[in-house]
Amino acid sequence: MKSDFSIQNSFKSTDCCPEQLLSDLQQRQVELEFKLIELENQNEHLQSVQTKHEESKRYYADLFHNAPVGYLTLTDKGLISEVNIAATKLFGIDRQNLLSRRFASLVTAQDSERWHLFYREVNNHKQQRNIALSLKVCGNTEVSVLLACLPINSMLRITLNHVTTTIVADMSQVKTAKDDLEDLEALKFILNNTPVLIGYWDTHLKNRFSNSSYARWFNKTPRQIKGKHIRQTIGEQLYSENLPHMNAALRGEPQQFERNILSPDSNKTIYTQLNYLPHIINRQVVGFYVLGIDITDKNQLHETSFQKRAIFESLNQGIFITDKNKNITYTNQAIRQLTGYSAEEMLGQSYALLHGKNTNPEQILQMREMLNQCKAFQGEVINYRKDGSEFWNGLIISPIFDTQGNLSQFVGFINDITERKYKDNQNKEHLDQLAHVTRLGLMGELASGIAHEVNQPLTAIATYAQVSLNLIKKENPDLSKIVQIAIKTQEQALRAGQIIHRMRRLCTSKSQQLSTIAINELISDCVNLCADPLTQNSIAISFELAENLPDVNVDYIQIEQVIINLIRNSIDAILGVSDSHPGKIIVKSHFTANNQIQVSVKDNGPGIEKGGCKKIRVTASNN
């Protein structure tokens, strides 16, 4: 588009001169041809670079897949995303069956916990680290492998080195490097400074080579051992115990076993893993290698871990352990039975695995905040089993700190409290029913008095209505008197309505309803409900009510019921005295020093053994 625009502008500037126009067109054409040639060259270069890139990619892919050392890659979830041929041969499992598989499932049970701790540590520090593990391979056999792990972004690159294969390869070089003194000395230096015990015996069980670590183990030097029968080195007892393994190795059968060996230089028993590997030339066994590894610490750690695990597994309470990121690293049998999940399904998952739609979000938020602050959480939440069923979970989660005071992990305890919660709900419903029956019983006791009290305003209303009719029939009715009588009629009607309304509320079965009220007004209402028995029995009632009392937040009906019971008790007490004894009741209210309002009902009846004052206390609200 740019060149066309330039040609058009050029044409306009020639003032329509054909020769000049033709010359410009030819020049533009030459420029375009050069640009086309340049673009073609660039395209060829890009294609060449791309081809080389693809070739390089295929080359390195071939190197990866055909390398003699096993390689594999793990995702951030611990799943195998790539694996080469050597690794598949080591495991004896097809490549497709390894891809997307959890690497932890290939680790033996005794090394499972070590692997989870190591995996967490190497991902946290983002540095290359090594670990020796026992892995499960095809046929339910185990191999000892040295893993070199390098985190790259969110992936983990792992190099697999078969421990025995690596050492044997180094030993075989001793045989082929006899004519090369420099290489031989280098190999000797490496072998003599490795902590692995290395020795080589021929078919007559005479020593042909031993490194310094092996000789030092038996308080000797390599020179003192060389050429000697193995019995002279390891002693009669150990020789007798290991002889069957030696004979098997000389038959071409590799041996791996463990022994307690007493080290002469330290008089210390060392737990050792021994490997007897046949040396075969032209299908003939010409000797065998001995490789020994001190696994005392590992064995003690394993025994301690096994003891702890056995204790945890025997408990009826569900126990789980997470790392500091709250991902599960251990579960005991009780929690697996309770939830229906297997150990493999729970390992590596978040502690929130059991949460569901009905789990209280406020409690979960509170738990998350407390754990983030490295504080213990205790509560009762609804959780879910694997099959989707709900259960009430009595949950405790506590942080665990290392010797430096840093958070290392969390430990959680789970109890199924579904049955207890069900019983609690049943008990609550039963108590509500009992309270309802109690209220109905109270209403039965008050029924006669309330019926009489309701009858009084109704009788007054009828009387006032008759008087009003009589006044209206007069020739000159007194309107002011009629108004006064109408007002009194209205007051009596309202009074009857209030009595009926209170009786209905008292009989209604419902849960506690809190409201803010003035306690002195409630006392006045209660006295009005008891006005009829007070009047009939000529009982004088007086008040000593404190002023400016704060409002209280209570269940109006319950407090009303209590005050009415106290007043009726006083009336019954006074009626037990002779008629000549004038009855008196005093109702008091005052604010106590401990932020409570005290209401007392006192009468001059015979009372109880230690005084005749009945009291209730109500805590004041913030209003």
Mean pLDDT of the region 84-104:
86
- Token pair, residue 176, equals 């082929």
Look at residue 299 and tell me whether its pLDDT is greater than 60: no
For the chain, give the number of residues: 623
Q: Whose structure tokens read 């009290």? A: 453
- Spatial CA neighbour of 293 closest among 272, 278, 268: 272
Domain that holds residue 253: 177-299
The reply to whether 593 and 496 lie within a common domain is no
The reply to whether 60 and 71 lie within a common domain is no
512: left (phi over 0), alpha (psi -120 to 50) or beta: beta
For residue range 447-488, list pLDDT tens digits in order.
665 666 677 678 778 888 888 888 888 878 888 888 888 888
Alpha carbons 203 and 249: distance in angstroms, whole number: 10
Look at residue 178 and tell me whether its pLDDT is greater than 60: no
Chain centroid offset of residue 82 CA: 31
Mean pLDDT of the region 517-544:
84
Read off the pTM.
Answer: 0.31
pLDDT of residue 585: 92
The reply to whether 282 and 185 lie within a common domain is yes
Average pLDDT, the chain: 77
Alpha carbons 30 and 441: distance in angstroms, whole number: 116
pLDDT of residue 189: 67
In a domain, 169, yes or no: no
Q: Which of 106-120, 226-240, 470-484, 494-508 has the lowest mean pLDDT?
A: 494-508
The CATH number covering residue 264 comes to: 3.30.450.20
The reply to whether 287 and 363 lie within a common domain is no
The confidence band for 27, taking pLDDT boundaries of 50, 70 and 90, is confident
- Token pair, residue 13, equals 């500037």
Q: At a CB cut-off of 8 Å and minimum separation 6, what does 384 contact? A: 354, 355, 356, 359, 390, 391
The reply to whether 477 and 534 lie within a common domain is no
Residue type, 43: N
Look at residue 168 and tell me whether its pLDDT is greater than 50: no
pLDDT of residue 192: 65
pLDDT of residue 447: 65
How is residue 548 annotated by DSSP?
A: S
For residue range 76-86, list pLDDT tens digits in order.
888 999 888 88
Chain centroid offset of residue 620 CA: 41
The confidence band for 348, taking pLDDT boundaries of 50, 70 and 90, is confident
Could you give the C-alpha distances from 357 to 353, 360, 412, in angstroms and in order? 12, 8, 21
DSSP SS3 for 98: helix
**70 touches 159 (CB < 8 A):** yes
- Token pair, residue 280, equals 């075969």
Look at residue 313 and tell me whether its pLDDT is greater than 60: yes
The reply to whether 549 and 581 lie within a common domain is yes
The reply to whether 558 and 614 lie within a common domain is yes
Which domain-ending residue is among 143, 164, 185? 164
In a domain, 232, yes or no: yes
Look at residue 277 and tell me whether its pLDDT is greater than 70: yes
Q: Which of 357-361, 436-440, 483-487 has the lowest mean pLDDT?
A: 436-440
The CATH number covering residue 562 comes to: 3.30.565.10
Mean pLDDT of the region 246-264:
81
* CA dihedral sign of residues 59, 65, 68, 71: positive
Alpha carbons 618 and 552: distance in angstroms, whole number: 7
Which domain-ending residue is among 299, 327, 361? 299
Which domain-ending residue is among 27, 46, 64? 64
pLDDT of residue 544: 92
In a domain, 308, yes or no: no
433 backbone dihedrals φ, ψ, rounded to 5°: -65, -40
The reply to whether 432 and 369 lie within a common domain is no
Mean pLDDT of the region 292-321:
65
The reply to whether 278 and 354 lie within a common domain is no
The reply to whether 529 and 614 lie within a common domain is yes
In a domain, 262, yes or no: yes
Q: Which of 14-23, 176-185, 218-227 has the lowest mean pLDDT?
A: 176-185
For residues 604, 608, 611 and 614, what is the CA-based torsion angle, rounded to 10 degrees? -80
Chain centroid offset of residue 460 CA: 72
The reply to whether 212 and 294 lie within a common domain is yes
Alpha carbons 276 and 256: distance in angstroms, whole number: 6
* CA dihedral sign of residues 534, 537, 538, 539: negative
Mean pLDDT of the region 73-94:
87
Most confident of 10-14, 243-247, 433-437, 591-595: 243-247
For residue range 192-251, list pLDDT tens digits in order.
666 778 889 898 899 988 888 788 777 888 888 889 998 888 888 888 888 989 998 898
How is residue 464 annotated by DSSP?
A: H
Share of residues in the chain with pLDDT > 70 (%): 74
Alpha carbons 229 and 232: distance in angstroms, whole number: 6
How is residue 620 annotated by DSSP?
A: B
Name the β-bridge partners of 213.
none
Most confident of 11-20, 99-108, 603-612: 99-108
- Spatial CA neighbour of 290 closest among 361, 332, 239: 239
**485 touches 467 (CB < 8 A):** yes
The reply to whether 377 and 451 lie within a common domain is no
* CA dihedral sign of residues 546, 548, 549, 552: positive
pLDDT of residue 174: 41
In a domain, 425, yes or no: yes
* CA dihedral sign of residues 81, 84, 89, 94: positive
Contacts of 566-570 spanning 24+ positions with Cβ under 8 A:
566/601, 566/614, 566/616, 567/526, 567/527, 567/530, 567/601, 568/445, 568/446, 568/530, 568/533, 569/601, 569/614, 570/601, 570/602, 570/603, 570/605, 570/614
Mean pLDDT of the region 257-272:
67
Most confident of 214-223, 351-360, 471-480, 540-549: 540-549
Residue type, 526: C
The confidence band for 13, taking pLDDT boundaries of 50, 70 and 90, is very low
Q: Identify the residue with better confidence: 43 or 349.
A: 349
For residue range 387-420, list pLDDT tens digits in order.
989 888 888 888 888 777 888 888 888 888 888 8
In a domain, 306, yes or no: no
For residue range 553-571, list pLDDT tens digits in order.
887 777 887 888 888 888 8
Share of residues in the chain with pLDDT > 90 (%): 4
Look at residue 587 and tell me whether its pLDDT is greater than 90: yes
In a domain, 309, yes or no: no
Structural domain count, the chain: 6
- Spatial CA neighbour of 327 closest among 117, 582, 588: 117
Helix H or strand E encompassing 406: none
Look at residue 52 and tell me whether its pLDDT is greater than 50: yes
Alpha carbons 490 and 496: distance in angstroms, whole number: 10
Burial of residue 613, with CB atoms counted within 10 A of its CB: 0-12 exposed, 13-18 middle, 19 or more buried: middle
Name the β-bridge partners of 515.
554
In a domain, 310, yes or no: no
Q: Identify the residue with better confidence: 543 or 463.
A: 543
